[in-house]
């Protein structure tokens, strides 16, 4: 009985210490920085705004914060003249809005002043694997004949490394643009959430590695 109490006390101390480290130290920000893989924007054929692949749970018909940061960054790149065409990519149907994240982003871009003819939508289907397959189909030209070797792919810090590794299986040097400040500067009250996102991404990277999804298929020069 005494030994059991010692084990319980030890587990409680370890759990409490871990929680305090996550909440009150920059360990979650450090984890996101390890995942960061981005480039400087250059003139491109198209801007691809990648919605967050995290499951959608907002019943009010709005995408998550990560997707909204990406949307703003994609529009900023368009406004600064890096490309004249935007692809709003991915996202299953969103609650009461009855539209996909891609459709929602496209509507916002048109409201911001982007001509409707310059905005294209790739809708995602349910299931995380479909996000991966849709992205591969996109860069292989199965939707439109854009030059994706000269595209700007907009994502956030947490997914930038995995997106780069996926794209490198088809494109020699993809250009990844990270939208700030998601994942880098959370307040202490949100650090646990960001740490969970970090762990989830590590799981995703490991899964893709063992499934061979980072293996190069075609490299274009």
* 169 in Cβ contact with 148 (< 8 Å): no
DSSP string spanning 18-55? Answer: HHHHHHHSTHHHHHHHHH---------SEEEEE---SP
Write down the pLDDT at residue 12. Answer: 56
Degrees, nearest 5: CA angle 127-158-35: 125
| Overall pTM > 0.75 | yes
Residues 35-78: pLDDT tens digits? 888 899 999 999 999 987 554 555 566 777 888 889 999 999 99
CA distances from 54 to 17, 118, 175, 184 (A): 28, 27, 22, 18
The list of the chain residues with pLDDT below 70 reads 1-28, 30-32, 53-61, 91-93, 95-97, 124-129, 181-192, 218-221
Handedness of CA 195, 160, 39, 144 (dihedral sign): negative
Pair 194, 25: CB distance under 8 Å: no
Domains of the chain with bracketed CATH: 37-210 (3.40.50.620)
């Amino acid at each position: 009985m005494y030994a059991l109490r010692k084990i319980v006390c030890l587990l409680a101390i370890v759990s409490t210490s871990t929680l305090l480290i996550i909440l009150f130290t920059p360990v979650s920000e450090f984890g996101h920085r390890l995942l960061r893989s981005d480039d400087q924007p250059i003139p491109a054929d198209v801007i691809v705004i990648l919605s967050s692949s995290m499951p959608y749970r907002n019943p009010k018909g709005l995408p998550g914060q990560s997707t909204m940061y990406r949307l703003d960054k994609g529009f900023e790149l368009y406004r600064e003249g890096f490309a004249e065409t935007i692809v709003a990519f991915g996202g299953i149907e969103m609650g009461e809005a009855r539209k996909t994240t891609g459709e929602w982003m496209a509507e916002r871009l048109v409201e911001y002043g982007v001509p409707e003819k310059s905005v294209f939508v790739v809708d995602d289907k349910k299931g995380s694997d479909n996000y991966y397959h849709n992205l591969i189909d996109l860069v292989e030209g199965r939707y439109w004949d854009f030059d994706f070797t000269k595209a700007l792919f907009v994502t956030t810090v947490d997914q930038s490394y995995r997106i780069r590794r996926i794209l490198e299986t088809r494109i020699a040097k993809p250009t990844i643009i990270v939208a700030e400040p998601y994942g880098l500067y959370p307040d202490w009250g949100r650090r646990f959430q960001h740490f969970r996102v970090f762990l989830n991404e590590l799981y995703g990277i490991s899964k893709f590695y063992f499934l061979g999804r980072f293996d190069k298929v075609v490299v274009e020069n």
